[in-house]
């Protein structure tokens, strides 16, 4: 019996050592084979193809000769069609009755004269904004990508609306803030001064890369 106790202790010690070795090896292999968390992938945003709508071309509505405003047929913010009658006039030199008509489609500004006042070529009745002729400001990096005469398509930025086709009619602004004058087939629904527009060359595959300009 006196030999059994030491033998049992020796056996227990051996088993503990073997178990510890197995655990150590398992820990080692687990550390080398466990899937490591993938590093965070940062996707670089693609350049935006947008520009800032600066203004629309506006033309004054004037009488060709000094005339008295007899009646006015419009209100501020009204959208009118080309040829629509805007006012009735009486020519001072002949007392003949004549009418002022809208020279193109557009939106009318506030009246600058009241019934009974005299209108002259230098004193317009109002101004008519042509929403098919926007002026947009481009990022300098895009200044060499579009040229007068190029065909373009325009939509509101970040929308799925149908594009409006048109062409580039000229350049303006400065080297740091180039501005593009467009002539569109129709107005872009929802477009207003300050709106971000997507401007792309035709065909659509040749997009003009333009960054949104800070106010």
Strand duo 50-61 + 106-108: pairing? unpaired
Beta partners for residue 31, in sequence order = none
State the CATH architecture for 60-128.
Answer: Beta Barrel (2.40)
Give residues with Cβ within 8 angstroms of 158, minimum separation 6. Answer: 50, 196, 198
Q: What's residue 189's pLDDT?
A: 87
Low-confidence ranges of the chain (pLDDT < 70): 1-50, 139-144, 203-215
Q: What's residue 213's pLDDT?
A: 34
Considering the entire predicted model, what is its pTM? Answer: 0.65
User: ∠ CA 35-41-44 to the nearest 5 degrees?
Assistant: 170
- DSSP for the chain? -TTHHHHHHHHHHHHHHHHHHHHHHHHHHHHHHSPPPPPPPPPPPPPPBEEEEEEEEEEEE--SS-EEEEEE---TT-EE-TT-EEEEEEETTT--EEEEE-SSSEEE---SS-TT-EEBTTB-SEEEEEEEEEEEE--GGGTTT--TT-EEEEEETT--PPPEEEEEEEEEE-SSSEEEEEEESS--TT--TT-EEEEEESSTTSB--BPPPP-
Q: How far apart are CA 85 and CA 108, in angstroms?
A: 12
3: Cα within 13 Å, side-chain hemisphere: 0
For the chain, the straight-line distance linking the first and the last C-alpha, in angstroms and rounded, comes to 97
Q: How far apart are CA 165 and CA 132, in angstroms?
A: 10
Q: What's residue 159's pLDDT?
A: 78
Q: What's residue 148's pLDDT?
A: 86
Among 1.25.40.10, 3.30.450.40, 1.10.510.10, 2.40.30.170, name the CATH number for the domain at 49-56+131-201.
2.40.30.170
Q: What's residue 207's pLDDT?
A: 41
Would you kindly state where each structural domain of the chain is located, as residue ranges? 49-56+131-201, 60-128
């Amino acid at each position: 019996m006196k030999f059994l106790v030491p033998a049992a202790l020796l056996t227990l010690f051996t088993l503990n050592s073997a178990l510890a070795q197995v655990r150590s090896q398992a820990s080692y292999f687990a550390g080398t084979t466990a899937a490591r968390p993938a590093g965070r992938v940062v996707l670089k945003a693609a350049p935006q193809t947008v520009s800032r709508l600066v203004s629309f071309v506006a033309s004054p509505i004037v009488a060709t000769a000094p005339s008295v405003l007899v009646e006015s047929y419009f209100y501020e913010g009204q959208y009118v069609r080309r040829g629509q009658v805007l006012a009735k006039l009486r020519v001072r030199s002949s007392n003949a009755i004549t009418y002022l008509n809208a020279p193109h489609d557009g939106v009318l500004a506030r009246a600058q004269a009241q019934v009974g006042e005299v209108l002259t070529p230098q004193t317009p009745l109002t101004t008519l904004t042509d929403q098919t002729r926007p002026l947009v400001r481009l990022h300098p990096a895009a200044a060499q990508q579009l040229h007068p005469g190029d065909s373009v398509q325009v939509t509101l930025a970040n929308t799925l609306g149908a594009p409006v086709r048109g062409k580039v009619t000229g350049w303006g602004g400065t080297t740091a803030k180039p501005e593009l004058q467009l002539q569109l087939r129709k107005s872009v629904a929802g477009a207003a001064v300050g709106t971000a527009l997507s401007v792309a060359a035709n065909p659509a595959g040749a997009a003009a890369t333009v960054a949104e300009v800070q106010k």
